[in-house]
Amino acid sequence: MAKHKETKSYREYISFLETTDNKKVPWYFHVFGKPLYYLEKLKDKPSQLVYKLIDKFPDEWEKLTRSKKMLATVLYGIVFFFTVLWFLVIHVLDSVMLSLNVFSTLGFGQIPVRGVPRYLTVIEGFIGWFLLSIFSVSLISQVIQ
C-alpha cells in the first residue's frame, strides 16, 4: 500500500507558528489563513484517490477477470478525468493570479517567469498601465465637470 505523509492539523500548524516566532498569530490570519489551509489540503485529494484505487487491484492485468478489468478501466478513466480537470482548474487560478499581478503592479515577487510568458506579461503590464491611466484621466475629467 502506498504511504502518504499526513498533513498537520490546523491547530498544530498554528502552534508551530507561535513557537517559531514566539508571538501570537493575529486574528486576521485565522479569517484568511484557515480557508486557504483547507484548500491546500484538498489539493492532494485526487492523487490520494488514485493511490487508493490502484491498491484495490493488486493483481496483474492478465490475471484479472473481465468484470474487474472493466471496473478498473472505468474507475481509472474517471479518476484520470477528474485529476486532469482539477489540475486545469488550479492552473487557471494560478494564471489568473499572475495576470492580475501583472495587470496591476508588475510585482512578480517570487514567481519565476521565463521565456515567452515573460514578454507577454510585460506587454500585459503596459496595457494595464495604459488602461489605468485612461481610467484616471476620465475619472478626473468627470469630477472636474
The residue segments making up the domain with residue 86 are 46-144
Q: Percentage of the chain surpassing pLDDT 70? A: 83
Q: Is residue 111 pLDDT above 70, yes or no?
A: no
* H-helix segments, the chain: 10-21, 27-42, 45-56, 66-104, 116-144
Q: Is residue 112 pLDDT above 70, yes or no?
A: no
pLDDT value, residue 77: 85
In a shared domain, residues 115 and 53:
yes
Q: Is residue 3 pLDDT above 60, yes or no?
A: no
Q: Count of domains in the chain?
A: 2
pLDDT value, residue 5: 59
Torsion of CA 16, 22, 28, 31, to 10 degrees: 20
In a shared domain, residues 63 and 120:
yes
User: How many CB atoms are closer than 10 A to CB 38?
Assistant: 10
Q: What is the pTM of this model?
A: 0.41
Of the candidates 86, 102, 105, the residue with the CA atom closest to the CA atom of residue 45: 86
pLDDT per residue as tens digits for the range 80-110? 888 788 888 888 887 777 777 766 666 665 5
Question: Angle of helix 66-104 relative to helix 45-56, nearest 10 degrees?
Answer: 170
- One-letter amino acid identity for 86? W
3-state class (DSSP) for residue 114: coil
In a shared domain, residues 131 and 90:
yes
**Distance, CA of 73 to CA of 67 (rounded, Å):** 10
Q: What letter does residue 115 receive in the DSSP assignment?
A: S
Q: Which three cell numbers stand for residue 77?
A: 478513466
pLDDT value, residue 113: 64
In a shared domain, residues 62 and 117:
yes
In a shared domain, residues 105 and 36:
no
In a shared domain, residues 34 and 78:
no
In the numeric block, the cell 482539477 is attached to 86
In a shared domain, residues 32 and 63:
no
Q: Is residue 134 pLDDT above 70, yes or no?
A: yes
In a shared domain, residues 50 and 25:
no
Mean pLDDT, residues 50-79: 79
pLDDT value, residue 105: 67
Mean pLDDT, residues 8-21: 78
Mean pLDDT, residues 14-41: 78
In sequence order, what DSSP letters do the residues of 6-31 get, joined into one string? Answer: PPPPHHHHHHHHHHHHTSPPPHHHHH
